[in-house]
Structures are given as C-alpha cells and as structure tokens.
C-alpha cells in the first residue's frame, strides 16, 4: 500500500473520544494553532447518540463500538467478558450510561501523594468545574456555565422503584447526600447524568460540533492510526489508513494520543514504545523501552442482585414493541417520556465494613432486570441493585498479539485476582439485601430473582459472582502517570523518553477513581490543555 503525505498540522490528536474532543476543541480556540483530530469511527449522526436512553440500543447493536472481548478470566469461570469501547465521534461519552460522577477527593489526593505533583483534588477541582454546568450545585464545588450539562432527576418524576430505593437506603441507616459530586459520595443520592434538556452531553456534541466551522480545526473520521512516526526520539506524525489508502500526517508541535485505556497502549506498542518483552517477539524495533505500557489495567467489576417486584412499576413495559415505538415518538416530537433520561435515577455509596474509611461500594438502582451487559431483558417485573468495588485491587494488562493494527489486543483485566475484591462484592450483595428488606419496599417487593434467597453462604454468593459478574466499563491505568520506572507518562502527561508525544485519556490514571470514569477523563483533558499551553510560553 503506497504512502502519501497529505497534511501538516501543529497538533495531531488521535482519538475523538471523551478526552480527545476536549483537547482538540480547546487547542483550536487559538486561531494561530492548527489541530487535526483523527477518529477511527464515524460521525455518530443518529438519534440514538443524542437520546439519553439510546445507550441501551447502542449496547445491543454494537454500533459505534470497538466490541472488544477480554481473554478468558480464570476467576470468572473462564468467561470472556464483553468489553465495549466507543468508536465514534465522542468515543465512550457517546455510548455510555451518562452517569456524571467524579469519585472521591481522596482519589486525586492519592495521585499527588504517589508523586504526581499538581494532581491533588484541590488542583483538579477547577477543571471539573470548567467542564460542567450544574445549576443546583454549590459553586464552591460545582461548575455552573461549562459546556457539559448535568441533570439530577426530580423525585416526583422518578419511578416508584427509585423512590423506594432512596427511602429504603435511609431506613437502612445511610444519610441522604444531596450532591455525590461534592466533598463525599457517601450516602444515597439522586444519580446525576450528563444529559440536559433531554439530550446527551457527549464531548463531540458539546466541544466539537460548536467548533466545526473553525478553519484551523480538521476532523478526520473513519481513519485508523496505525503508528506514531518517530524521528530521532521525537514524535513527528502518524501513519493513517483511510479509505483503503495509507497516509502520513505530520505534526510540527505534538502528537497527542487520546485513544483510551485499550487503544493508547496498543498504539504505543505498535510504534515501538513499550516493554521489550512484549515487542521483540513480534519483531517490533524498540524505540523507547517503557515497561509500564499496557500494564496497570484497572476496571470496576460489576455484579447485580436481581429483585422481583409485585407491581408493574419497573421499566419492563417500556421494552415492549408498541411502548418502545410510542416512547421513541414522544422523544422525537417533544423531547419527553422514558427515552428522555438514562433511567438511572438513584444510587448509594456505602462502606463494605466498619474498618474501611471511605465508601468503597457503589450501588446503582437499575429500573429493570437484564443480563448479557444489558443486551438481554429478563421478561419479569423487577429491578437490579447493580454494584461494584470502587477501588479494586486486581490489576491486569493490555498487550498486542500481532503487528496488525486492525487486530484487537489481548485484554486481561485479571478480575478478582486479589481476594479483597471478591470480599467487597460479597459485602455489596448483603448490603443491597438489607436495603431491599426495608419497609419502603414492602408494597412492591417480590422474591429475589438472583442469586436467590437460598444463596446465603459466602461460597454461594461467591459462586454467583464468578458466574455473572461483568465489567461496568471503566478501564483505566494502562499508560499510567507517575515518576517511577513503571510510569509511562510524567505528571505533564508527556511520554517518558520521547519528545513531543503525550497521552491524554483514562489510561494515564495511576489508580482508578471511586466512581464512574467519564467525568474524570474529561477533567484530565481540560487540565492537560493548560499544561500544553503553559509549556508553550
């Protein structure tokens, strides 16, 4: 395949996802700076990408998605786990469940304590505030005029299940937390989502669409970046396959990788940046021997307690063909109805034991029972207490298995390789049962569907977890930020040992936040732009 050079630009941003769209938009605010944003997927011009409830259909169809699978997970009965990642303008912010969550301030203070100067919560907070618009929040902690709208459901509009979950959590001893994105997540809260006026607030919609008319911003879609071009230890461009043709795009200033926790380490490895033990067997010349590339993979493993209901108060009725058609029409015409929200209205953050000094379990109240990562609906009235360990200890890897850039890498999260993760999930099942046993559920509570009331022993609950647990789609850490020898990028997000190359996405997180990872990824992007601008002065 013949190569041809088609463009030169100041900055190349690889991956138009949660971080890449922000970086490209912010850098191109300077009319003297040219930016090329490259996305392997398409534009996402489909109502499912803007409709908050559209993520259910997107998950089922695999649209806008890399559709990865993990390697067989030993601790999960040898199952391969479906591992979706966004492949569309907006990346995973265009296909996810729209939960707006920062995690705990202590997550970021820990980043700084382990050597990442400038990444404490106090120093990250201005960037969380910059990206969001949440009118109800305390201005000390919340942004009121950022690009990404945030909505908290109003109690009177919530389902009977969600209202019961909030009341039952309080009856079980949890405090009501009016803002889980404030100083603590602890307690039960109305779950905030990144949708506003019934429209998903993806980074493509909120950062790129308003910037598309800028002459200094070029957005290239359906283009697979196959390698970073290095000359004398400096990143000078990328090689791209688009429309069956191989192209070279050169960067005068920097190449920025924003492919996420799977694609960024994959591209580094394909470019000769990584652990020699991973690269040399494939015949790849080692350009920068960074042993940490693809290591330190962390993710939130999720397990769901499924609870039957005695009344038709779940979302099950909305999954019937006529109801779905009516819901879709109501949304298309009036931006209202069940499709106008993400359906995740209430959640609780709890301690797995009295010895834990932070909320280490996150429990979503999901208004329907489903399996197979939401792709199969359980045809009974019910809901799920869907939970994960906020700070899992299990750590895995992402590693290429071939020099073919179109072939998925080996993704091995090593779920439950640390027994503490299993203990916390087991505790989460029991805490969820305690909440559901409260009086607030008396009028609608049926029999437990799964794991079932007979699953009482540790062994029974553990067996259920191993049989059913899945990712909740929060992979991070594979190009971790730090100052030790396992770090891939420094605290300025510059790839160690390579000039003019940065990674800006969830892969740089040294440890996983105690919540959903989309908002922390956006924060990293906002902060990174200031790091780039400061370096130019």
Structure tokens at 528: 């990174």
Dist. CA 362–CA 283, nearest whole Å: 44
Task: Using CB atoms within 10 Å of the CB of residue 380, give its burial: 0 to 12 exposed, 13 to 18 middle, 19+ buried.
Answer: middle
Dist. CA 415–CA 388, nearest whole Å: 12
Instruction: Collapse the DSSP code of 160 into the 3-class scheme (helix H, G, I; strand E, B; otherwise coil) and give the result.
Output: helix
What is the Rg, in whole angstroms, of the alpha carbon atoms belonging to the chain?
22
Q: Please calculate the CA angle 359-398-361 and round it to the nearest 5 degrees.
A: 10
Check the CA dihedral 181-182-185-188 and report its sign.
negative
Cis peptide before 451 (omega within 30 of 0): yes
Residue with tokens 């106090």: 122
Dist. CA 277–CA 491, nearest whole Å: 26
- Choosing from 110, 190, 300, 474, which is the catalytic residue? 474
Dist. CA 45–CA 380, nearest whole Å: 34
Dist. CA 387–CA 429, nearest whole Å: 8
Structure tokens at 396: 């895995």
Q: Is 350 a known ligand-binding residue? A: no
CA–CA distances in Å: residue 181 to residues 185, 312, 389:
7, 32, 18
- Determine the length of the chain: 537
Dist. CA 432–CA 168, nearest whole Å: 10
Residues of the chain by 3-state class (helix, strand, coil), percent to 5: 30, 25, 45
Instruction: Collapse the DSSP code of 105 into the 3-class scheme (helix H, G, I; strand E, B; otherwise coil) and give the result.
Output: helix
Dist. CA 442–CA 451, nearest whole Å: 20
Q: Is 88 a known ligand-binding residue? A: yes
Structure tokens at 117: 């100067």
CA–CA distances in Å: residue 161 to residues 190, 312, 365, 367, 461:
13, 10, 8, 7, 24
What angle, 0 to 180 degrees and rounded to 10, lies between the N-to-C axes of helices 419-436 and 160-171?
A: 100
Of 472, 476, 475, whose CA–CA distance to 507 is shortest?
476
Helices and strands counted in the chain (H then E):
13, 26
Residue with tokens 């970046």: 225
What angle, 0 to 180 degrees and rounded to 10, lies between the N-to-C axes of helices 458-468 and 419-436?
A: 100
Decide if 258 contacts 17 (C-beta within 8 A): yes
Dist. CA 54–CA 374, nearest whole Å: 12
Known catalytic membership, residue 110: no
Number of CB atoms found within 10 A of residue 180's CB: 27
| Known binding residues | 88, 225
The residues assigned a catalytic role are 474
| Known binding residues for FAD | 88, 225
């Amino acid at each position: 395949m013949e190569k041809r050079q088609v463009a030169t630009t100041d900055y190349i941003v690889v991956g138009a996802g949660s971080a890449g769209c922000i970086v490209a938009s912010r850098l191109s605010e300077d009319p003297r700076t040219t930016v090329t944003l490259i996305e392997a997927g398409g534009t996402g011009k489909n109502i499912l990408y803007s409709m908050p409830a559209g993520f259910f259909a997107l998950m089922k169809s695999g649209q806008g998605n890399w559709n990865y699978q993990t390697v067989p997970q030993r601790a999960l009965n040898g199952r391969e786990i479906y591992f979706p990642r966004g492949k569309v303008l907006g990346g995973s912010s265009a296909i996810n469940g729209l939960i707006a969550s920062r995690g705990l301030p202590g997550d970021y203070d820990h980043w700084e304590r382990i050597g990442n100067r400038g990444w404490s919560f106090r120093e990250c907070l201005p960037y969380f505030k910059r990206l969001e618009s949440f009118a109800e929040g305390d201005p000390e902690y919340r942004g009121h005029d950022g690009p990404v709208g945030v909505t908290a459901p109003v109690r009177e509009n919530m389902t009977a299940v969600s209202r019961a979950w909030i009341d039952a959590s309080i009856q079980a001893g949890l405090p009501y937390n009016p803002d889980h994105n404030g100083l603590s997540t602890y307690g039960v809260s109305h779950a905030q989502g990144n949708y506003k006026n019934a429209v998903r607030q993806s980074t493509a919609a909120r950062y790129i669409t308003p910037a598309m008319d800028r002459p200094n911003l070029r957005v290239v879609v359906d283009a697979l970046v196959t390698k970073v071009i290095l000359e004398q230890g400096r990143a000078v461009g990328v090689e791209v396959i688009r429309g069956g043709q191989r192209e070279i795009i050169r960067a005068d200033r920097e190449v920025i990788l924003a492919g996420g926790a799977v694609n960024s380490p994959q591209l580094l490895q394909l470019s000769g940046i990584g652990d020699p033990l991973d690269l040399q067997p494939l015949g790849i010349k080692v350009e920068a021997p960074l042993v940490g590339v693809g290591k330190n993979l962390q993710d939130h493993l999720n397990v769901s307690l499924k609870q039957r209901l005695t009344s038709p108060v779940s979302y099950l009725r909305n999954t019937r063909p006529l109801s779905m058609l009516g819901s879709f029409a109501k949304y298309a015409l009036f931006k209202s109805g069940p499709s106008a929200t993400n359906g995740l209205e209430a959640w609780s953050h709890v301690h797995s034991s009295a010895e834990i000094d932070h909320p280490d379990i996150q429990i979503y109240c999901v208004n329907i029972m489903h399996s197979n990562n939401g792709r199969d609906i359980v045809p009974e009235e019910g809901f799920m207490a869907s939970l994960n360990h906020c700070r899992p200890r299990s750590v895995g890897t992402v590693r290429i298995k071939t020099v073919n850039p179109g072939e998925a890498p080996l993704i091995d999260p090593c779920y439950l390789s640390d027994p503490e993760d299993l203990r916390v999930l087991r505790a989460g099942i029991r805490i969820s049962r305690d909440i559901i046993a409260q009086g607030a559920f008396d009028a609608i509570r049926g029999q437990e569907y799964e794991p079932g009331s007979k699953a009482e022993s540790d062994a029974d609950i553990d067996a259920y977890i191993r049989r059913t647990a899945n990712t909740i789609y929060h992979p991070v850490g594979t190009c971790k930020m730090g100052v030790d020898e396992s770090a891939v990028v420094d605290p300025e997000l510059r790839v160690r040992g390579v000039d003019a190359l940065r990674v800006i996405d969830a892969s740089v997180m040294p440890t996983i936040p105690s919540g959903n990872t989309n908002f922390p990824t956006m924060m990293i992007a906002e902060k990174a732009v200031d790091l780039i601008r400061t370096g130019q002065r």
